[in-house]
Amino acid sequence: MTSIRRHSALLFAVLAATALAVTTAAAGGVPVGSPGGAAFQADAPNASTNASITLANQTRDGRSVSVASATLPDGGFVVLEEAGPNGSVVGVSLPLGPGTHEGRVTLRDVPGATPNVTRLAANTTLVATLHRDSDGDGRFDGLVAPDTDGAYTANGTPVADRARVTVPPTERPTTAAIAFANQTTNGTAVTVDSITLPDGGYVGLHRGSYNASNATSSAIGATDYLEPSSYGNVTVAVGTVPGVNATALNRTVRLSAVAYTDSDGDLRFQYVPSNGSEDEPYVEG
């Protein structure tokens, strides 16, 4: 059975005015990360005045994606996201100069992405889109400032390509894991440092140390469904569990973050409404 480590952490909830000065999570629960990394080689600078990108179907270890060719006339970034209306941005290249490039984009924290995907745990269709560095700061800001670093377009359509990334079973994580550090917050949400969900599921938040005998009554928050992957800087809002009326934290409390399965496959966190009979936690052993 898949194993899980449960971590408890002291959470320092302070008044909003103070939290804005010292919090480890951005106000409003939006995590702040560092730009994604990449290894890119410039083949022919200024080779084309037209933006273009080629992303081929490939087999990878889930930690990076190979880009066959990316032409950015004015420089910028290659941005990777999961296909579909609710797909997450999973990686961004380092800033690229004008010209044609090839190389890999590593899945790492992306500023403004919620949550941050750090490793694919299943076969996934990804879309690679070319973006400008419109403010010239060498950092992709398109998620934190929507009017900044917009996509290259052709006939009004973003310049993009998609491909199927196959992750072999031997490269997929088989063990669930979670890390949850002490932090200061404005009391409406907390940040879980990292979580691996081999079969997908949720991150649940509980008051006090996790205890199976009162887990349904101690739950105060949970994420939306997360696909099988590893994630970083996952925001869990307080009061997001169906049937639980939890208010914002206003003092120092001990909380536990727990990895939950989606055992009924309905993509909704049902552990509390089902009185613990559905979406059970990943367990050790």
- Helix (H) or strand (E) run with residue 222 in it: strand 219-222
Contacts of 134-140 with CB under 8 Å at 24 or more apart are: 138/95, 139/35, 139/95, 139/111, 140/35, 140/36, 140/77, 140/79, 140/92, 140/110, 140/111
Do 158 and 177 lie in one domain? The reply is no
Task: Provide the pLDDT for residue 69.
Answer: 96
Do 166 and 177 lie in one domain? The reply is no
Residue 2 falls within a domain, yes or no?
no
Do 164 and 147 lie in one domain? The reply is yes
Task: Provide the pLDDT for residue 49.
Answer: 63
Q: Euclidean distance between the first and final Cα of the chain, in Å?
A: 6
Do 221 and 107 lie in one domain? The reply is no
Do 190 and 227 lie in one domain? The reply is yes
Last residue of a domain, one of 143, 171, 199: 171
* Tokens read off for 131: 């973006």
Task: Provide the pLDDT for residue 249.
Answer: 82
Task: Provide the pLDDT for residue 115.
Answer: 81
Do 212 and 247 lie in one domain? The reply is yes
Last residue of a domain, one of 121, 152, 171: 171
Verdict on whether the full-model pTM lies above 0.85: no
C-alpha R_g of the chain: 20
Do the Cβ atoms of 262 and 279 come closer than 8 Å? yes
Do 180 and 167 lie in one domain? The reply is no
* Tokens read off for 123: 């076969």
Residue 266 falls within a domain, yes or no?
no
Only one residue has tokens 């084309």, namely 48
Task: Provide the pLDDT for residue 34.
Answer: 24
Residue 284 falls within a domain, yes or no?
no
Task: Provide the pLDDT for residue 19.
Answer: 27
Task: Provide the pLDDT for residue 180.
Answer: 92
Do 86 and 202 lie in one domain? The reply is no
Do 115 and 195 lie in one domain? The reply is no
Instruction: Give the domain range for residue 244.
Output: 7-30+173-260
Residue 280 falls within a domain, yes or no?
no
Do 61 and 151 lie in one domain? The reply is yes
Task: Provide the pLDDT for residue 231.
Answer: 93
- Encode the chain (285 residues) as per-residue pLDDT tens digits: 444 444 444 443 333 222 222 222 222 222 222 223 344 443 444 444 699 999 999 999 999 999 999 999 999 999 999 998 778 899 999 999 999 999 999 998 788 887 888 899 999 999 999 999 999 999 999 999 989 999 999 999 999 999 999 999 999 988 999 999 999 888 889 999 999 999 999 999 998 888 888 888 899 999 999 999 999 999 999 987 876 767 778 788 889 999 999 999 999 999 999 999 999 999 875
The single-letter code of the amino acid at 14 is V
Residue 205 falls within a domain, yes or no?
yes
Last residue of a domain, one of 137, 171, 205: 171
Residue 271 falls within a domain, yes or no?
no
Residue 70 falls within a domain, yes or no?
yes
Task: Provide the pLDDT for residue 125.
Answer: 96
Task: Provide the pLDDT for residue 26.
Answer: 24
- CATH code at position 82: 2.60.40
Do 144 and 242 lie in one domain? The reply is no
Task: Provide the pLDDT for residue 37.
Answer: 37
Q: Domain tally for the chain?
A: 2
Task: Provide the pLDDT for residue 46.
Answer: 40
Do 237 and 153 lie in one domain? The reply is no
Residue 150 falls within a domain, yes or no?
yes
DSSP per-residue codes, 59-126: E--SSEEEEEEEEETT-BEEEEEESSTTPPEEEEPPPB-SEEEEEEEE----TT-SSEEEEE-S-EEE
Give CA–CA dist 228/199, Å, rounded.
5
